[in-house]
Amino acid sequence: VNIGYKADGIITLNELSTDSTKKPKDLFEEGQEIDVYVVKLDDGEGNVVLSTKRVEGLKNWEQLVEKYENDEIVEAKVFKVVKGGLLASVLGINAFIPGSQVTTHFVKDLTPYVDQTLECKIINLDQKKRRLVLSRRVIEEKALEEKVNEVWEDIEVGKIVKGKVARLTDFGAFVDLGGVDGLIHVSDISWKRINHPKDVLSVGEEVEVEVLRANQERNRISLGLKQLTKKPFDSFLETNKVGDVVEGKVVNLVDFGAFVRLDEGVEGLVHVSEISHEHVEKPADVLNVGDDIQVKILDINEENKRIALSIKATTPAPEKEEVKKEVKKAPKKVVEEPAFENEDLNNTLGDLFDIDLEDIE
């Protein structure tokens, strides 16, 4: 290369371009004016050592500074995993991507990222120290934030939405609604009592749920699954009436009776007086939780959603032994009246005492 110096300049292959696959004829033509960087004025043989690669690097640094100031996205080609993160190349300049900035969640093994081209933002740049630090995480977080805002625009209390079960806990199921998680509390999964959400749901399952409550400031959404199914009491009313004998399971025992769960998931009460024809002191004396029993529906209170049941009404009452007692009648007393011959109501005292009054004289 003629640089107007006493000697021509030479550009070695390793100083040609940041792309090692390029050859001189791929980049330049004879007579073309180019910018070069003087590496050495004399290489020991009288030649001036030049570099187009370093010029390209300086121009690329200028581009990076401009992109950094304008908060623009750069493309980084990952070529190595190092302690604490990844090494990547941006416009031929080496850059570092910390492990915490690779994505929004912790990644133990970064090897799969090698040879990938990642869209990143420049979070630290120092041209003098040739330090360039990138982040892919900030781009993902911004995209997630935009997606979350879109989801929230579609969230309304009472609205039916679709989602995918993301994880299960003892207290409920978290559902991904497309970037925002909502919670189905265990009490809102089914009308029936369940021990754990996994009894009804599984991770990855797609579900339709109703939005029960939503608070965007706290980023909380309460969802309901059972609300999209018919209420058990309504189902019970459709298929049962007073007088029917139905199957049930004892679910709770209290001093005043036993609570029995019927097939529809509703619970009715068997009062202690309706357990047996014989006297029962406590329900636990004759029943156990988990017992399968037959009960008769005595009453249905639709307003209060209460059902009165009876066990003893499903069996006939035992016959009572009648004991006949003979009542002995006391004999009537016969009062005999004295008989007087020739009764004379004008009897005198003398007649009564058989005394001759004349003798007294």
Mean of the pLDDT values across residues 298-318? 91
Whole-number Å distance between alpha carbons of 113 and 80: 9
Looking at residue 271, what is its pLDDT?
Answer: 95
pLDDT band at 340 (very low <50, low <70, confident <90, very high): very low
Q: Residue 297: is its pLDDT beyond 60?
A: yes
Mean of the pLDDT values across residues 126-149? 91
At residue 193, what are phi and psi to the nearest 5 degrees? -75, 130
Whole-number Å distance between alpha carbons of 284 and 281: 9
Whole-number Å distance between alpha carbons of 325 and 2: 145
**In the CATH scheme, what is the homologous superfamily, with its name and number, of domain 156-228?**
Nucleic acid-binding proteins (2.40.50.140)
Say which residue the tokens 């058989």 belong to.
354
Instruction: Name the residue with higher pLDDT: 232 or 76.
Output: 76
Whole-number Å distance between alpha carbons of 98 and 245: 70
Whole-number Å distance between alpha carbons of 95 and 67: 14
Q: Among positive and negative, which fits the CA dihedral 54, 59, 65, 67?
A: negative
Whole-number Å distance between alpha carbons of 166 and 176: 6
Mean of the pLDDT values across residues 201-213? 95
Contact criterion met (CB below 8 Å) for 269 and 307: yes
Q: Which CATH number fits domain 232-314: 3.40.30.10, 1.10.260.40, 3.40.50.10420, 2.40.50.140?
A: 2.40.50.140
Instruction: Name the residue with higher pLDDT: 199 or 346.
Output: 199
Q: Could you read off the pLDDT of 251-275 as tens digits, one per residue?
A: 999 999 999 999 878 899 999 999 9
Looking at residue 19, what is its pLDDT?
Answer: 67
Q: Could you read off the pLDDT of 111-134 as tens digits, one per residue?
A: 999 999 999 999 999 988 889 999
Mean of the pLDDT values across residues 175-204? 92
Mean of the pLDDT values across residues 187-200? 90
Sequential DSSP letters for 299-332: EEETTTTEEEEESGGGSPPPPPPP-----PPPPP
User: 71-141 has which fold?
Assistant: OB fold (Dihydrolipoamide Acetyltransferase, E2P) (2.40.50)
Lowest mean pLDDT among 256-260, 290-294, 343-347: 343-347
pLDDT band at 1 (very low <50, low <70, confident <90, very high): low
Q: What is the dihedral of CA 39, 44, 47, 51, to 10 degrees?
A: -20
Instruction: Name the residue with higher pLDDT: 264 or 95.
Output: 95
pLDDT band at 178 (very low <50, low <70, confident <90, very high): confident
Looking at residue 349, what is its pLDDT?
Answer: 44
CA atoms within 13 A on the CB side of 346: 0
Instruction: Name the residue with higher pLDDT: 174 or 194.
Output: 174
Whole-number Å distance between alpha carbons of 7 and 41: 9
Say which residue the tokens 């004892």 belong to.
250
Looking at residue 322, what is its pLDDT?
Answer: 53
Contact criterion met (CB below 8 Å) for 74 and 59: no
Which residue spans within the chain are E strands per DSSP?
9-11, 37-40, 48-51, 73-82, 85-90, 93-98, 117-126, 131-135, 160-169, 172-176, 181-185, 206-215, 220-224, 245-254, 257-262, 267-271, 292-301, 306-310
**3-class SS of residue 67:** helix
**CA 190 from chain center: how many Å?**
12
pLDDT band at 18 (very low <50, low <70, confident <90, very high): low
Q: What is the mean pLDDT of the chain?
A: 84
Mean of the pLDDT values across residues 334-338? 50
**CA 279 from chain center: how many Å?**
46
Q: Residue 350: is its pLDDT beyond 50?
A: no
Instruction: Name the residue with higher pLDDT: 340 or 244.
Output: 244
Whole-number Å distance between alpha carbons of 97 and 74: 12
Looking at residue 318, what is its pLDDT?
Answer: 81
Looking at residue 230, what is its pLDDT?
Answer: 85
CATH 2.40.50.140 placement within the chain: 71-141, 156-228, 232-314
Farthest CA pair distance, the chain: 210
Buried b (16+ CB within 10 A) or exposed e, 293-328: bebbbbebeeeeeebbbbbbbeeeeeeeeeeeeeee
- The residues near 179 (Cβ < 8 Å, ≥ 6 apart) are 144, 147, 148, 150, 151
Whole-number Å distance between alpha carbons of 161 and 209: 6
